[in-house]
Amino acid sequence: MSINLENTLFCGQTFAWSKQGEVFQAIVDGRVIEIDETNFPSTIAHDSKLRQYFDMDYEYENAESILSERDPYLASCIKDYGSIHILNQDPWEVLMSFLLSQNNNIKRITSMYKRLSETYGKQLDANHYTFPRPEELLVVTEADFRKLGMGFRAPYLVDAVANHQLLQDIPSLDFSSAMQHLKIIKGVGDKVASCILLFAYHRMEAFPLDTWMLKVMKARYPSKDATFFAPYAALAQQYLFHGERTSKGGK
């Protein structure tokens, strides 16, 4: 199964990755991972955790075929940007990342994610730090987060640390209940909750609506909602979001 690493890793679903030359780097499951398009198959061939992280067993080819038949604009996005996969990420990292994403752009979110890691995470080597776990942030105050440039998001991060155990309940809840449960955490609204369910729990019915998606839905699908793309709404959202940002020079 093919995967477009560039578009998958930099389409706004994760902020953990960087690229040096042709090599993509990140900390995944507490390990430094370095891959490129040429060594990707061998890197994950016998690594079940990476296969799961990159979602290699999902029916992407079938989903892309069905979505392409359903709508010509979506078909053009899939042709231009395929094959994007939905990563299976750590729920805690996704929660914190998408609290940072509010009123923000990908470049700045990635920078903030990196500052949190370098300040409070564990150093693995000269250049790599783990993203801090909740227990490593228990004594961090709102003022501390503000000093790191987290701005108005600082109290949200404090509350996320205090309520991180709510994440353990999500797998047992239906989609609607899970959305409401996540919104107990300060700063988590419909968009952030949808992102958490999609990128951490692989709830493929999720359809996050941010500024970019509201624009594309109003312009191209004014009488439709996520059900138009079922049962692959989440994958459609990723292509539409990436297509809108890319065509408008979004960062």
**Is 28 within 8 Å of 53 (Cβ atoms)?**
yes
DSSP conformation class of 137: S
Q: What is the pLDDT of residues 10-60, one digit of tens each?
A: 999 999 999 999 999 999 999 999 999 888 988 898 999 999 999 999 999
Q: What is the pLDDT of residues 220-240, one digit of tens each?
A: 999 999 999 999 999 999 999
Check if the beta carbon of residue 200 is closer than 8 Å to that of residue 171: no
Domains of the chain, each with CATH number or no CATH: 5-87+207-247 (3.30.310), 91-201 (1.10.340.30)
Could you report the per-residue pLDDT of 178-208, keeping only the tens digit for each?
A: 999 999 999 999 999 999 999 999 999 999 9
The interaxial angle of helices 91-100 and 106-120, nearest 10 deg, is: 120
E strand residue ranges, the chain: 18-20, 23-28, 31-35
> Comparing C-alpha atoms, which of 154, 161, 150, 142 is closest to residue 112?
150
| pLDDT in the model for residue 246 | 86
Mean pLDDT, residues 83-108 taken together: 95
